């Protein structure tokens, strides 16, 4: 009779391919959050009234969109609003579901 000992399952070690896919998913999720935050910031900046003496003009209008984009990227980089982790989870679920 063979002695069968119940051995605990070894923890799964992620492969280099899985780590690269997770990194790509994380980067994509963070970029999605950055774009979302940039769009929201842009909408907020459109409603800011400018001072006629020191604000407004063509230059401000040109760079307002760039400011909103940079603010969105920076907010996402430092943690954002918690959207990136939720998006990353969905990306990973979709990737796992497509591997049949």
Q: Where do the structural domains in the chain lie, given as residue ranges?
A: 16-47+58-98
- Kindly report the number of other CB atoms within 10 A of residue 72's CB atom: 22
The pLDDT of residue 59 is above 70: yes
Q: Is the pLDDT of residue 83 over 90?
A: yes
Predicted TM-score (pTM) above 0.95: no
Give the least confident one: 4-8, 56-60, 69-73, 81-85: 4-8
% of the chain beyond a pLDDT of 90: 46
Residues 18 and 96: beta-carbon distance below 8 Å: no
Quick one: DSSP state of residue 2? -
pLDDT confidence bin for 33, thresholds 50/70/90 = very high
In the predicted model, is pLDDT for residue 14 greater than 80? no
Question: Which pLDDT score is estimated for 22?
Answer: 87
* Cβ atoms of residues 3 and 61 within 8 Å: no
Q: What's the whole-number mean pLDDT along residues 1-16?
A: 61
The angle that helices 16-46 and 83-98 make with each other, rounded to 10 degrees, is: 140
CA atoms within 13 A on the CB side of 9: 3
């Amino acid at each position: 009779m063979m002695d069968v000992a119940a051995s605990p399952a070894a923890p799964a070690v992620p492969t280099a391919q899985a780590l690269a896919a997770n990194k790509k998913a994380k980067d994509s999720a963070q970029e999605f959050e950055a774009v979302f935050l940039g769009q929201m910031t842009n909408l907020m900046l459109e409603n800011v009234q400018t001072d006629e003496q020191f604000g407004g003009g063509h230059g401000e209008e040109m760079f307002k969109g760039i400011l909103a984009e940079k603010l969105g990227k920076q907010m996402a980089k430092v943690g954002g609003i918690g959207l990136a982790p939720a998006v990353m989870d969905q990306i990973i679920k979709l990737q796992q579901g497509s591997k049949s």
